[in-house]
């Protein structure tokens, strides 16, 4: 059984998959408390659902499935859910907060790994060995609240070549940093990253899940 907050269909708003119709399985619970978290409701208790029930819930929907949270890797059955979806022909992405090992996730899936900068309050909780496991199928996301976070991210990119294995997304905190300002910093420094504006919040302002 998995503890689930919600299952829904929407447009993926982040990473290189932005704009793709997707099914979302949001699992309950999180081990971090980021200052700018925009899904705090996922920390609450969800509803226990069987693996077969979740597979059926996305049946007939978009081929792409995003397993998110909260923190999906807190639940022991998450790897089994990923494998079952992949075996059923789904394209699976798993969004994780970067604090737990990602090696249990089937290599056929795309692992979307957050790296928490100083403003998050959770930088010290990162599981840095995950960087050794990154492949071109995976992606890294760093949410930027201001210049200090950006400087931290730029320094990390400069010193850790493991990040060159995959796409790195820099995402401005909505209401704290304008996307245009972050874009200027990226251009000025010539960073080889992707500006990650949350498309779902552009399409559906104010909606918690994007739809």
Cβ burial, residue 142 (10 Å; 0-12/13-18/19+)? buried
- pLDDT for position 56: 98
| DSSP string computed for 12-73 | --SGGGTT-EEEEEEE---S---TT-S-GGGGS--EEE-HHHHHHHTTTS-SEEEEESS-GG
For residue 57, say if its preceding peptide bond is cis, omega within 30 degrees of 0.
no
- pLDDT for position 196: 97
- pLDDT for position 45: 87
Q: What's the pTM? A: 0.95
DSSP 8-state assignment for residue 38: S
List per-residue pLDDT tens for the chain, 211 residues long.
Answer: 999 999 999 999 999 999 999 999 999 999 999 999 989 999 988 999 999 999 999 999 999 999 999 999 999 999 999 999 999 999 999 999 999 999 999 999 999 999 999 999 999 999 999 999 999 999 999 999 999 999 999 999 999 999 999 999 999 999 999 999 999 999 999 999 999 999 988 999 876 555 5
Q: For the domain 2-203, what is the CATH code?
A: 3.20.20.70
**Per DSSP, which regions of 51-103 are E strands?**
64-68, 91-96
How many angstroms separate the CA atoms of 83 and 6, rounded? 20
User: Across the beta sheet with 139-144, what order do the strands follow?
Assistant: 47-49, 2-11, 21-27, 64-68, 91-96, 110-114, 139-144, 167-172, 194-195
Q: How far apart are the first and last CA of the chain?
A: 26
How far is C-alpha 86 from the chain's CA centre? 18
Do you know the residue count of the chain? 211
Listed in sequence order, the DSSP H helices in 67-197 are: 78-87, 147-159, 179-189
DSSP 8-state assignment for residue 20: -
Secondary structure tally for the chain: helices H, strands E: 5, 9
């Amino acid at each position: 059984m998995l503890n689930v907050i919600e299952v829904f269909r929407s447009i993926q708003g982040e990473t290189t998959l932005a704009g793709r119709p997707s099914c979302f399985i949001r699992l309950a619970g999180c081990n971090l408390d980021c200052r700018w978290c925009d899904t705090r409701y996922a920390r609450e208790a969800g509803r226990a659902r069987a693996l077969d029930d979740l597979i059926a819930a996305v049946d007939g929907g978009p081929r792409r499935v995003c397993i998110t949270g909260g923190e999906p890797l807190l639940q022991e059955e998450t790897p089994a859910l990923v494998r079952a979806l992949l075996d059923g022909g789904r394209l699976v992405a798993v969004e994780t907060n970067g604090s737990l090992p990602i090696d249990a996730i089937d290599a056929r899936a795309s692992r979307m790994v957050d790296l928490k900068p100083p403003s998050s309050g959770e930088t010290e909780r990162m599981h840095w060995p995950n960087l050794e496991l990154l492949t071109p199928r995976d992606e890294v996301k760093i949410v930027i609240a201001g210049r200090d976070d950006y400087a931290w991210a730029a320094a990390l990119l400069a010193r850790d070549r493991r990040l060159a294995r995959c796409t790195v997304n820099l995402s401005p905190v909505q209401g704290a940093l304008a996307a245009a300002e972050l874009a200027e910093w990226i251009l000025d420094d010539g960073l080889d990253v992707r500006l990650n504006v949350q498309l779902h919040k552009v399409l559906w302002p104010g909606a918690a899940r994007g739809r």
